[in-house]
């Protein structure tokens, strides 16, 4: 009888299909964990309108939100420590181990917020404990960004690296969207505003802790990246993460420069926008939640579209698009948004802003990963990014609310525009990392 054989071409097709499945599975699991981490982190911002009065007594809602925003910013202060710590773990002991630890730490921080007593029960200890829990979450998230950006970039094939890595911001925005959707469901279906303020705000933090445990179990099945395994074989003795990073001062400064405008814009149209619609535009709670959710869905859809576009035309063109359009139209967009009383117009204006901001958000992770060799990539992506986000992104909401509290809200529009203009200078002068990438370099 003739023996059935598989042709070399068929075997290659099977191998290619298996490789694609392996990559897609890794990206899916990595992205799900990233979504859970960002859900846990953003739940604080989404529910601050309800729990701020429980931790900060007083009659002025702007001041209460400002105090809550300051603790939100506190979570960013420790992000550089997380970027360094988890970057070190990822570069020395593997991306998978660092990703598992980061989601476990986030679980603890979320659970702590869920059970923290109010100011009426334990006094000043309440906001102190809340601040400590936010620091734990910030430590976790500081490590999550650099490690997940590195992992998603390394498991992607070269031709689709921009598309695959864009899913970091798909899940990042998706995490905030999930927090908003949980808020919407609690508002519309299960709880009254009084119940939400009294105890209902604790529910999403419990949900977040449980989801983090599920993500931890899923991440146990992640495979290590080929880049890390190859670098581990070639590099026998490894330097400290900081010492190794100092060999790339230009790349570190590039990360800082290209991030500062983008991260401030991102947090303006995500965490701060919910408060802006309520306190400045004058919309009610339901309208604010619906517009925020709708704009996040729109932003989420833009990420892979822009990421795929960067695989065709390069990363630099999209960054310049964000820099030019953000410099020209940030002030007109925010002025028009503050003046409108229409829910539809407010949504369309925020959607227009996202058409601009997505030029940065969709590809910033892959651009940073393409700047550094494998042995220092997670630290190089995570640490300078975390420092920049702590200074500019994490403080965006606090600065905006402070300008509003002193009667000069419009000053924030100029502040944001100035930062985007500075980043534009970096975008114009830097090389396109798609064509000049350090991917595959191990030292």
What are the pLDDT digits (tens) for 302-326?
999 999 998 899 889 999 999 999 9
pLDDT of residue 439: 54
Residue 90 Cα distances to 13, 81, 219, 330, 376, angstroms? 33, 14, 14, 37, 9
pLDDT of residue 168: 78
| Predicted confidence (pLDDT) per residue in 121-132, tens digit | 888 888 888 888
- Answer for the pair 235, 92: CB distance below 8 angstroms, yes or no: no
- Answer for the pair 177, 30: CB distance below 8 angstroms, yes or no: no
pLDDT of residue 240: 61
Local confidence band at 9 (pLDDT 50, 70, 90 cut-offs): very low
Local confidence band at 440 (pLDDT 50, 70, 90 cut-offs): low
Local confidence band at 239 (pLDDT 50, 70, 90 cut-offs): low
Residue 15 has pLDDT above 50, yes or no: no
Residue 443 has pLDDT above 60, yes or no: no
Highest mean pLDDT among 91-100, 176-185, 235-244, 312-321: 312-321
- The DSSP call for residue 156 is S
Nearest by Cα to 318 from 168, 150, 162: 162
- Taking each helix axis from N to C end, the angle separating 249-267 and 377-388, rounded to the nearest 10 degrees, works out to 50
Mean pLDDT score of the chain, rounded to an integer?
81
Residue 2 has pLDDT above 70, yes or no: no
Give the C-alpha separation, 317 to 374, whole Å.
25
Q: What domains sit in the chain, N to C, each tagged with a CATH number?
A: 28-429 (1.20.1250.20)
Q: pTM for the full model?
A: 0.79
Local confidence band at 260 (pLDDT 50, 70, 90 cut-offs): very high
Residue 3 has pLDDT above 80, yes or no: no
Local confidence band at 1 (pLDDT 50, 70, 90 cut-offs): very low
Instruction: Tell me the percentage of the chain whose pLDDT exceeds 90.
Output: 17
């Amino acid at each position: 009888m003739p023996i059935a054989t598989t042709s070399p071409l068929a075997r290659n097709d099977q191998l290619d299909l298996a490789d694609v499945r392996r990559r897609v599975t890794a990206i899916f699991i990595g992205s799900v964990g990233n979504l859970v981490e960002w859900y846990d982190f953003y739940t604080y911002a989404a529910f601050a309108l309800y729990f701020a009065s429980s931790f900060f007594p007083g009659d002025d809602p702007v001041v209460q939100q400002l105090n809550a925003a300051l603790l939100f910013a506190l979570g960013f202060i420790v992000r550089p420590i997380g970027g360094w710590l988890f970057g070190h773990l990822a570069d020395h002991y593997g991306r998978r181990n660092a990703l598992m630890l980061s989601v476990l730490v986030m679980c603890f921080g979320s659970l702590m917020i869920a059970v923290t007593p109010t100011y009426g029960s334990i006094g000043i200890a309440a906001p102190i404990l809340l601040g400590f829990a936010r620091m734990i979450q910030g430590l976790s998230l500081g490590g999550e960004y650099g490690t997940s950006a590195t992992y998603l970039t390394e498991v992607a094939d070269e031709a689709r690296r921009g598309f695959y890595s864009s899913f970091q911001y798909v899940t990042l925005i998706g995490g905030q969207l999930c927090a908003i959707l949980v808020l919407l469901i609690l508002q519309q279906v299960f709880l009254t505003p009084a119940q939400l303020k009294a105890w209902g705000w604790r529910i999403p933090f419990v949900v977040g802790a449980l989801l983090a445990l599920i993500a931890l179990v899923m991440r146990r099945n992640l495979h290590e990246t080929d880049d890390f395994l190859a670098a581990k074989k070639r590099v026998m003795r490894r330097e400290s993460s900081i010492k190794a990073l100092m060999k790339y001062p230009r790349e570190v400064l590039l990360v800082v420069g290209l991030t500062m405008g983008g991260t401030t814009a991102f947090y303006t149209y995500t965490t701060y926008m919910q408060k802006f619609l309520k306190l400045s535009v004058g919309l009610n709670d339901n309208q604010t939640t619906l517009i925020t959710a709708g704009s996040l869905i729109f932003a989420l859809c833009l990420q892979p579209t822009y990421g795929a576009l960067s695989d065709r035309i390069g990363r630099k063109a999209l960054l310049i698009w964000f820099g030019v359009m953000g410099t020209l139209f940030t002030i007109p967009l925010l002025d028009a948004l503050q003046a409108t009383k229409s829910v539809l117009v407010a949504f369309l204006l925020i959607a227009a802003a996202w058409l601009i901001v997505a030029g940065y958000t969709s590809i910033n992770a892959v651009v940073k990963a393409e700047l550094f060799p494998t042995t220092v990539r997670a630290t190089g992506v995570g640490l300078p990014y975390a420092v920049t986000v702590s200074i500019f992104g994490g403080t965006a909401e606090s600065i905006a609310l402070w300008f509003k509290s002193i009667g000069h809200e419009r000053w924030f529009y100029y502040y944001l525009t100035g930062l985007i203009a500075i980043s534009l200078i970096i975008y114009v002068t830097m090389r396109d990392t798609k064509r000049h990438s350090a991917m595959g370099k191990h030292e």
